[in-house]
Amino acid sequence: MIQSPQLAVRVLYVLSALVILPYLATASAAAQFSLNPSWDVSNCFLECHQRIVATIQIPGTGHNQFQWITRNCENDDWKNLLAQCLPMTCSSAPDVAYAKEYAENFCRRAGFDEFEVDLPAEYLAGPNKVYFESREYLDSSSSTQSGILPLWGTVVVAGASVIAMAKVL
């Protein structure tokens, strides 16, 4: 039984955070701006890809080529450099978000289903966090997901609230 109201509030905050995480994972600049990462090229991604290909070599080959998609997607150096390049090259946070989605789609088409670009924490925590936490960006997930996720989130928060309040009283 939860003894203090402050602890109950903390529990509710943790549960609320767990509910919003799926929204952050599914938020989509592509959906927000009606772009298709399979067809609408990200110029920022292309610029970074060209720079990185000119910088690193694929192990065992002695060089790298722009069209070696599979070899680049499986290369951790390419992935890490891409994550660093996008925030420095793209013109805005929405541009970075779309370039990230484009890169992930680019590698998924090459057979890397679990490929994800992890943007630097400093970038996401700085002034750009306003975009990544904006209602427009977060709401874009609803256009890419079914109605189950919001319903599930509501049920979890409501249930946790009832349980927490019952234990406090």
Mean pLDDT is lowest, of 27-36, 61-70, 84-93, 101-110, for: 27-36
Mean pLDDT is lowest, of 51-55, 96-100, 131-135, for: 131-135
Q: 3-class SS at 141? A: helix
Interatomic CA distance for residues 148 and 155, integer angstroms? 10
> Residues near 124 by Cβ (< 8 Å), separated by ≥ 6?
132
pLDDT beyond 70 at 28: no
Interatomic CA distance for residues 52 and 19, integer angstroms? 37
Among candidates 117, 137, 108, which has minimal Cα distance to 29? 137
Interatomic CA distance for residues 34 and 58, integer angstroms? 35
Confidence of residue 82 (pLDDT cuts 50, 70, 90): very high
Q: What is the token pair recorded at 166? A: 């019952």
Domain boundaries along the sequence of the chain? 1-28+144-169, 35-137
Helix axes 148-168, 5-26, angle to 10 degrees: 170
The DSSP string of 152-167 is: HHHHHHHHHHHHHHHH
Confidence of residue 58 (pLDDT cuts 50, 70, 90): confident
> Residues near 145 by Cβ (< 8 Å), separated by ≥ 6?
26
Q: Can you give the pTM of this predicted structure? A: 0.63
Q: What is the token pair recorded at 151? A: 């319903």
Q: Please report the pLDDT score of residue 121 as a whole number.
A: 94
Q: Decide: 99 and 42 in contact? Cβ < 8 Å.
A: yes
Q: Please report the pLDDT score of residue 116 as a whole number.
A: 93
pLDDT beyond 90 at 96: yes
C-alpha distance across the termini of the chain, in Å:
10
Confidence of residue 167 (pLDDT cuts 50, 70, 90): low
- Interval 114-139: pLDDT, tens: 999 999 999 999 888 888 888 887 77
pLDDT beyond 60 at 99: yes
pLDDT beyond 50 at 168: no
